[in-house]
Amino acid sequence: MKKSIFLIIYLLFAYISSAQEIAPIPLGGSLDLYVGTWKYENTETGEVFIVKLKKFDNYTAINVNFGTVLIGEYSYKKNGITIYDNIDSVSGIATNNQAVRTSVKCSSANQNFAKLRLSVIDREYQKIANGTLQFSLEHNNSYSLKWKIAESEGDFDVGPDYKEGLSIPSDIVLIKVEE
Amino acid sequence: MPVIAEESAKGIFKSKGILPINLDEFNILANNETKSSFTDTVTFSLDSSMLNWGKASQVNRDNGLVFTQIPFSFNDSSVFAAISDDMETLDENKVSLKSFYIKAEDCFNNVQIDYIVTMVPTREYQVHNVEYDFLNMQGYSGIVFYSDTIGRVFKINALKDGIINRVSLSKETEIDNPKYVGFYSNDRTITKSDQDPVFDGGELLTIVIYADSQNTGGYGDIIIIGKTPESDNQGEKPEEVIGHTDKLVLGGGTDTTALQNEYTLFVKFKGCCGESEQIIVAPIGNSISVTAKDFSSDTCIFMHWEGPNDILSNNRSISLTLSCNTTITAYYMGKSKGACFELAKIASDATMKANMKAIIDSTHLDSIEHGYKMRSDGSKLYGKGTDSTLRYDKDSGQTYIQRFHTHPKGTKFCSGADIWTIYDMLRNQQIRDDDIDNFRYGMIARDTLNKGEHMIHIIKIVDKNKLENCFNQDIINCANDISKVKNIFCLNYDDYLSQDNLSYNDKMVFYLEQLERMGLSLSKGEYTNNASQNTSKVIYWSNVTIKSKNGTEMPDFETCAYQYPNNH
């Protein structure tokens, strides 16, 4: 009888463990764990993509108060060459009306803080990309962000310098490297 | 009991083949009886030479009925008649009678019947109305016999002041309240003055007795019931004289073939343009092209054509091949209709609709964005699409009056980039000042959820200064970094509309608020698409504004009653 009970408990534990490969966010409805510096690195392609996020309360733009959002900046290197780097400006961002603006902003969707909407300005190609940012707790208790974006819809006049696609990674996982 | 005057009861009266009505069956005989057979009847036989084609005339009704009237040659010269309440006074009431060969055509149903009418006016009426005819029976008083082309009577109307009462001939001599009609041969003299034509002499050919009836019964039935109409409020008007256009004098020709060598198209213009008419005569079999008149597009715009055989077109120019005389009507709408006028402008813009239809059809064949820009000179530049963007090559120095694109993924609102594009065109002077009112920016969203309703948004610049001011100051604040201003606007705008937790109405209110602060207005259409035939139809248009209901802002979709045969 005792063996059976232990077996059931073991199987139940094993099932729960396997079902929680992606752990629920332990935030209690907070964006705080997104704040910090996140990094993606691919040694084969020589890509290093770093995003720095900070929380911003009462974010107001286009006559709308978006509430609390995350804003940030990024740097991107490829094969050792810096494509874009404005990461140090994040700390200076005061309001959205300033000339220096964020390039990454997230806000909650359906109060599900595990997956946020993501809008990115591709500084190099001067395009908007939209997608999602999904928080995960890895097995080693580290935090990761699933970054997935696509070029937004639009009707454009383009010049000869127009470039197809995006200059930044569109489907990557970033690891938190700094609070 | 009626008394037949002895002097009139001279024997068997006959039509003698002169009158286009064979009345022998009903003749009152000398023995105070009626005939029991057609013995001795001289059957009338129509000959083309009996008709005076030079005086043929025609009327058209709005419902597609066309009546052509050809008078008999003997009118006013060979025969005459009389109507009286009693036999004794018949001679005192002699009048001219008129017969007409009538061709009645129903253009809508491609039906034509020919018949003959013979009009015997009361003496009182004829004295004061010399110029009456079958197509001009307003106020007519007298008897009208309807017969077929061999003289068989199928209907008789007695009219008083233009109002009909159906009557029937009688084979009986004893009826209540009888009336008499006598027909006389041509061997008589006429002393005619303006006020009182006098008919003297002539042989009494035949005399019939009839009774008025308010129960019309069936044609050809002999029913002797009812009373003579005594007031204008009783009975009805003859259908041939209701709703006629002006009578058209045809003239010429010698037979029906000659008459039908050409048909007439009556073109009417109705609405803010005032009432007017144009008449076009076209040879049989020839196609006629008609174009709606131009009025000021700022105050009075063409809507659509209506006509027989389901003619229903929003195209200004239509082609018709007439199978009979036809009336078509062009309808116009004026600026006094307010918001509906704006929708009417969209709905009546054949060029824009054709342009839209082309990219709608393309969108339903593949999954990439399609679009065009129409230059001020009417030429078009097509964009290069992907599944999410549409790009145009440089088109230096050009100005535009339309710019439309599709959202194959079904996004129901113009994106931030779309809205910015309108501002950018203005900033880059791609919209001429005199084109501002007519410039339209359009977005067509495919219904990817297969709800059967695909959307069209058409944006108009209402306040140019508002649109410019909305972004100009931001550009100055950003040290003229236009891309930065654009990107920040698009980022925030798109972010708001991508919120999953907002309803369609919430997003629409935001969308309308954004448009309003930029001096833009929205008209919305919904269309259906037949997948198998890849044909699209706009169901309706509405003006979309914000209204407040119980303190909550809601989108208000104002449709217009005309929603003309919208499927366009």
Q: Which of B65-79, B393-407, B447-461 has the lowest mean pLDDT?
A: B65-79
pLDDT of residue A172: 95
Tokens standing for B495?
């972010």
Residues facing B180 on adjacent strands: B84, B209
CB B489 within 8 A of CB B471: yes
Percent share of chain A, pLDDT over 70:
72
- Predicted confidence at residue B343, as pLDDT, reads 81
Q: Render pLDDT for B440-458 as a digit per residue (tens, 0 to 9).
A: 999 999 887 777 778 999 9
Q: Give the range with max mean pLDDT: A12-26, B168-182, B269-283.
A: B269-283
Give residue-wise pLDDT tens across range A34-59: 889 999 999 998 999 999 988 888 88
Q: Cβ(A69)–Cβ(A106) under 8 Å?
A: yes
- Secondary structure class of A76 (helix, strand, coil): strand
Q: Read off the pLDDT band of B243 (50, 70, 90).
A: very low
How many CB atoms within 10 Å of residue A47? 17
User: Looking at beta carbons, which residues of chain B come within 8 Å of A159?
Assistant: 394
pTM for this entry = 0.60
Find chain A residues with C-beta within 8 A of B490's C-beta. Answer: 128, 152, 154
| pLDDT, mean of residues A78-107 | 68
Q: Give how far the C-alpha of residue B152 lies from the chain's centroid of Cα atoms, to the nearest Å.
A: 35
Q: Is the pLDDT of residue B349 over 60?
A: yes
Would you place residue A124 in the very low, low, confident or very high pLDDT band (cuts 50, 70, 90)? confident
Q: Is A86 on the interface with B (CB under 8 A)?
A: no
Give the closest of A105, A110, A159 to B495, CB-based: A105
Nearest-CA distance B60 → chain A (Å):
54
What average pLDDT does range B513-536 have in this prediction? 86
Alpha carbons B239 and B102: distance in angstroms, whole number: 13
- C-alpha radius of gyration, chain B, whole number: 36
Q: Provide the mean pLDDT of chain B.
A: 74
Residue B250: the pLDDT is 45
Find the distance separating the first CA and the last CA of chain B, reported in whole Å.
Answer: 70
Binned at pLDDT 50, 70 and 90, residue B223 comes out as very low
Which of 106-135 (A) contact B at CB < 8 A? 107, 109-111, 117, 119, 121, 126, 128, 130
CA dist., res. B157 & res. B145, Å (int): 7
Residues of B in Cβ contact (< 8 Å) with A62: 489, 492-493, 496, 514
For residue B5, what pLDDT is reported? 28
Nearest CA in chain A to B496: A66
DSSP B352: H
pLDDT at B237: 43
What pLDDT, on a 0 to 100 scale, did the predictor assign at position B198?
54
Q: Which residues of B394-418 are buried (b: 16+ CB within 10 A; e: fewer)?
A: eeeeebbbbbbbbbbeebbbbbbbb
In this complex, do A121 and B371 lie within 8 Å of one another by their Cβ atoms?
Answer: no
Residue B258 has pLDDT above 50, yes or no: no
A55-69, B46-60, B481-495, range with the lowest pLDDT:
B46-60
Give the distance from residue A72's alpha carbon to the nearest chain B alpha carbon, in angstroms. Answer: 13
pLDDT at B26: 62
- Asked whether this complex has an ipTM greater than 0.85, the answer is no
Question: What pLDDT was estimated at residue B322?
Answer: 77
pLDDT band at B23 (very low <50, low <70, confident <90, very high): low
Per-residue burial over B50-66, b = 16 or more CB atoms within 10 Å of its CB, e = otherwise? bbebebbbbbbbeebbb
Using a CB–CB cutoff of 8 Å, tell me whether A93 touches chain B: no
Taking alpha carbons only, the member of B92, B78, B161, B83 closest to residue B120 is: B83
Q: Which of residues 21-80 of A touch B (CB under 8 A)?
A: 61-64, 66
pLDDT beyond 50 at B375? yes
Count CB neighbours of A151 within 10 A.
20
For the ranges A138-152, B277-291, B391-405, which has the lowest average pLDDT? Answer: B277-291
C-alpha dihedral over B430, B435, B436, B440, to 10 degrees?
-80
Pairwise CA distance, residues B175 & B411, whole Å = 83
Predicted confidence (pLDDT) per residue in B97-142, tens digit: 888 988 887 766 666 778 888 888 888 888 777 678 888 777 888 8
Q: What is the pLDDT of residue B77?
A: 65
Residue A147 CA to residue A106 CA, distance in Å, equals 12
Of the listed ranges A108-112, A170-174, B189-193, B498-502, the least confidently predicted one is: B189-193
Among the ranges given (B8-22, B298-312, B342-356), the one the predictor scored with the smallest mean pLDDT = B8-22
The per-residue pLDDT for B171 is 61
Q: In degrees, to the nearest 5, what angle opens at C-alpha B553 toward C-alphas B551 and B557? A: 130
Name which of A163-167, B82-86, B553-557 the model is least confident about: B82-86
